[in-house]
Amino acid sequence: MKKYLIETDNLTKKFDGFAAVNSINLKIPQGGIYGFLGPNGAGKSTTIRMLLGLISPTEGKAKLFDKSIDKDRLDILKKVGSMVENPSYYAHLTAYENLNIIREILNVEKSEIERVLNIVGLLEVKDKKVKKFSMGMKQRLGIAQALIGNPELLILDEPTNGLDPAGIREIRALIKGLPEKLGITVVVSSHILSEIELMATDVGIINKGNLIFQGSLEELQKRSLAQIKIGAEPKKEAIDHLLKRGYQVEERDKYIYIKEFSSPSILTKELVINNFEVYHISEDKSNLEDIFLDITRKENQDEITNIN
Ligand SMILES: Nc1ncnc2c1ncn2[C@@H]1O[C@H](COP(=O)(O)OP(=O)(O)OP(=O)(O)O)[C@@H](O)[C@H]1O
């Protein structure tokens, strides 16, 4: 059976009756990168705060390392490093000095500082004052802070927020290498699908407090809305025919699109035996961005349907 490092059971957080996180059941496997994806305000930070025991759930439970965060918080947190929103540091101190403060609090070996500086690629600038750091370097310092003490689990809340594209790429590459390099599990939140797509092994999508997808990145990609693109003549009659047959048909340019999982060969046969000339048929997969938009849109529509 798959081992989960984090499991939640109907985890819920309400603020004045409003469910910012609504009964979610996270299952975060050990050893990979779990991308926690959702638009702004979806409930990512609130969930992460509950996982870290920074706020208590209104209902439900969170277990990390098979222990309950409300009962064994200190035991759990010894094995967790985190960066929630922007990293905090003293700008007038060097990277080394900043890390030393955390090292002293955690009471770990001095060698730990160079180890983490090396992982995040800041060893050469360890004696530079943080106020002279770029945004990307500050984020890397934040990750170094979270890695002090050699945690088994790293939780990063929107680590690429506010970075330029080059900075985003650097942080992404850094995070991507961590499970293999250190044998740790990483949970990383983001509102940008392409970012998660490029580094995560598993994905949870949250929208308006609801977990609307959870599974491997592969499973998410498989959900791509396969469309069949057809070129058939006479087009208008072909559309009418397909509509009568119950297909969802969309007409774009000179082609007909069918947005559902059906096999191209069945469709071709359907048209050919009814005397249509089929001059083009192909499968047209939408990218993950479309899927993300589709999933979140569907969720919103369901909500509207429920209200009505
Ligand atoms: N302390 C609070 N009191 C009241 N409402 C809150 C509080 N914290 C969060 N919320 C609300 O809960 C919802 C979820 O917020 P949360 O910060 O978890 O979202 P998020 O997915 O992390 O988004 P972002 O990336 O914008 O931070 C939002 O509507 C937010 O306004």
Residue with structure tokens 């930070």?
45
Q: Which residues pair with 13 in a beta bridge?
A: 21
Q: What is the pLDDT of residue 308?
A: 33
Protein residues with CB under 6 Å of any ligand 1 atom: 15, 20, 38, 40-46, 158, 191
What's the pLDDT score for residue 57? 97
Q: Which of 12, 16, 22, 46 to mutate to test the pocket of ligand 1 (most atoms within 8 A of CB)?
A: 46
What is the Rg, in whole angstroms, of the alpha carbon atoms belonging to the chain? 24
Pocket test for ligand 1, best of 16, 45, 205 (most atoms within 8 A of CB): 45
ipTM of the complex: 0.95
Pocket test for ligand 1, best of 18, 44, 191, 299 (most atoms within 8 A of CB): 44
Contact between 7 and 176 (Cβ < 8 Å): no
Question: Please, what's the b/e burial string for 226-263 (b: 16 or more CB within 10 A of its CB; e: otherwise)?
Answer: bbbbbbbeeeeebbebbeeeebebeeeeebbebbeeee
Residues 69, 75, 81, CA angle at the centre, nearest 5°? Answer: 85
The C-alpha atoms of residue 193 and residue 36 are separated, in whole angstroms, by: 10
| Residue pLDDT tens, the chain, 308 long | 678 999 999 999 999 999 999 999 999 999 999 999 998 889 999 999 999 999 999 999 999 999 999 999 999 999 999 999 778 899 999 999 999 999 999 999 999 999 999 999 999 999 999 999 999 999 999 999 999 999 999 999 999 988 888 889 999 999 999 999 999 999 999 998 888 989 999 999 999 999 988 999 988 877 666 688 899 999 999 999 999 988 888 888 899 988 765 678 888 888 999 999 999 998 876 666 777 777 677 666 554 433 33
Q: How far is the CA of 45 from the centre of ligand 1 (A)?
A: 7
The per-residue pLDDT for 86 is 77
How far is 83 from 9, CA to CA, in rounded Å? 24
Q: Measure the CA dihedral 93/97/102/108, to 10°.
A: 180
So what's the pLDDT on residue 224? Answer: 63
Please report the beta strands in the chain, taking only residues with DSSP state E, as ranges in sequence order.
Answer: 4-15, 18-24, 27-29, 33-37, 59-64, 67-68, 80-83, 153-157, 185-190, 202-207, 210-216, 227-233, 249-252, 255-258, 277-284
Q: What is the pLDDT of residue 220?
A: 83
CB neighbour list of residue 57: distance below 8 Å, 6 or more residues apart = 11, 12, 13, 21, 50
Phi/psi at 143 (nearest 5 deg)? -70, -40
Task: Specify the pLDDT at position 282.
Answer: 87
Comparing CA positions, the residue from 190, 105, 185, 178 lying closest to residue 148 is 105
Q: Is the CA virtual torsion 266, 270, 275, 276 positive or negative?
A: negative
Q: Provide the whole-model pTM.
A: 0.80
Nearest to 44, CA basis, from 231, 205, 238 = 205
Residue whose CA lies nearest to ligand 1 atom number 12: 20
